[in-house]
A and B are shown apart, each in its own frame.
Chain A
Amino acid sequence: MTAGTIMPYDEALERFEPVLGLETHVELGTRSKMFCGCKTTFGAPPNTQVCPTCLAFPGALPVANAQAIESTIRIGLALNCSIAEWCRFARKNYFYPDMPKNYQISQYDEPLCFDGYVDVEVDGKTVRIEIERVHLEEDTGKSTHVGGATGRIHGADYSIVDYNRAGIPLVEIVTKPIPGADRLAPEVARAYVTELREIMRSLGVSDVRMEEGSLRCDVNVSLMPRGSSEWGTRTETKNVNSLRSVERAVRSEIERQAAVLAGGGTITQETRHFHEDTGTTTSGRSKEEAQDYRYFPEPDLVPIAPDPAWVAELKAALPELPSVKRKRLQAEWGLSDLDMQAMHNADAIDLVEATVAAGAPAADARKWWMGELARKSNESGTPLADLPITPEQIARVTELVASGALNDKLAREVLEGVLAGEGTPDEVVERRGLKIVNDEGELSAIIDQVLADNADAAEKVRSGKIAAAGALVGGVMRASKGKADAARARQLILEKLGVSE
């Protein structure tokens, strides 16, 4: 087999059927770490959020964070899982410098939540993704590799380790194998991770920022020849760090594996790494000897036995889940599936909803977020939600338009001003002097001047060619630098010329 050979996607799909599996890690947004009281703030100076427990100093012991347990159960419930009546943490033993104890406190054969599902919509059809398990574990520290050409681990002279992240609670969500996605496998994978992200957000358990690593995804792919029912050997592509990468990683792995299999080769069960720059995966560690994690029940922590009544309470108190909410909002806003899907893809639903909640009509809110702001977002590469403007500010702009104080053109300028950091919409209007010309006297004077300057056009209108009024209105808008109310200007022009519509 030649490294780097791929089979075009369409051909690969003609010959093989993909089976997917996804393991997603979500860092919980608890105030303190999983097993100690250290803070979890992202981006703190190195080794300032560490203590004897998360540095694995001799003698230190873990105590489980109650909030993390509750959040995990809520995630399990939101994913339609059963909740364990009794389960334990387990130690996963392997040596690695970013893992202070050289074992990870995780869960093995007794996950907190198991046997659930989540439905995702792809291409207008609903795909049910079955959830194998949801369990709780702890994150590792972060190594920086020094020396060598690439800053990568290979070729580095040594590494330096920051343990601030070590011990942050991590929920692992594992799907059952997903057959049947067929040529939509990349889109299904992306839709699933998107859905998980929204569920996490709606539960308020994590900020799920893929770029900060608080949501990380490992993608398992295997192929079986068409007509076969025996699954192939799978590979696991690690740490795929954006929604787009999830989709690309699946596609690239399908293309690669298809080429290997078609060339008579075999797939090695291995860990692979996704490269954002090339959109391809490369082989990770060579498994010279199979890992033997020697899992055993964590003796430093006692079993968890959630009270069923408490679990029922948590279930009853779950917020409306994103898929349900989307259906409701779509009906309320009277949108087509296509429009709703576009908003979903743009991550605009929550923003529009918040804008409506702040008093804007749904159509206006949607128009701004999906129009002007979506454009800005694309231009700057900033997610919509991260633009420096709030739903309340958009609502204020729509209010100003509705009251006649702004027209659409001025409103766009106001948004630009807000995005540029010039203040609130009202401050921008004030500073840039963007108020519509409401003074009838001033407007009347402008119109008189425009009529005088465009005598031919004025004459056409007077003679009944009302369509020619458009040019006159345009002249008024130019003369007023866009601040005139176009409708009122038209009315006055017709009045002055003695015609009516």
Chain B
Amino acid sequence: MSAITRDEVAHLARLSRLALTDDELDHYATQLDAIIESVAKVAEVAAEDVPPSSHALPLTNVFRADEVRQSLTPDQALGGAPAVEDDRFRVPRILGEEA
């Protein structure tokens, strides 16, 4: 039985904003299936009582003082943008919620 179906891969591609072709979906489904089966080995380590580590080192409380630093100039901020209008980033129409 496969660990992941083609439909699930299509769902992952949508969630990840990757417009994949049907052929790509087939290809990735096969590869991801093999990878997921392999990484599932993490379950073999008995770790019920072990706390998870999200970080490599146990640092805490790293903050900066509430001080203003130099921002970018508008040219620096907008200079690499694919499209600009009125000093704003111009983006294609946004689907989504009525605001």
Contacts and interface: CB of A to CB of B under 8 A. Distances in A.
Contacts of A306: 61
Contacts of B85: 146, 160
Interface residues of B, number: 37
A161 B88 contact: yes
A9 interface: no
B63 A65 contact: yes
B93 A55 contact: no
B47 interface: no
Contacts of A413: none
Interface string A265-302: 00000010100000000111100010010101101011
Contacts of B99: 152-153, 239, 273
A271 B97 CA distance: 9
A145 interface: yes
A31 interface: yes
A145 B88 CA distance: 12
Contacts of B69: 32, 36-38, 51
A290 to B, nearest CB: 11
A47 interface: yes
A68 B65 CA distance: 10
A63 B65 CA distance: 10
A32 B88 contact: no
Contact of B60 (A51, A158, A302): A302
Contact of B64 (A48, A55, A64, A159): A64
Interface stretch (B25-33, B35-43, B71-79): B71-79
A305 interface: yes
A154 B64 contact: no
A158 B91 contact: yes
Given A154-B98, A273-B98, A48 B74 contact: yes
Contacts of B97: 153, 238, 271, 273, 284-285
Contact of B91 (A63, A69, A159, A289): A159
A96 interface: yes
Interface string A132-145: 00000000000111
Contact of A297 (B54, B70, B74, B96): B54
Interface in A217-273: 238-239, 271, 273
A302 B71 contact: no
B59 A302 contact: yes
Contacts of A304: 60-61
A333 interface: no
B1 interface: no
Contacts of B14: 289
A302 B61 contact: yes
Contacts of B86: 46, 160
Contacts of B94: 96-97, 143, 145, 153, 156, 159
Contacts of A96: 94, 96
Interface of A: 30-32, 36-39, 45-52, 55, 63-69, 86, 88, 95-97, 143-146, 152-154, 156-163, 238-239, 271, 273, 282-285, 289, 292, 294, 296-297, 299, 301-306
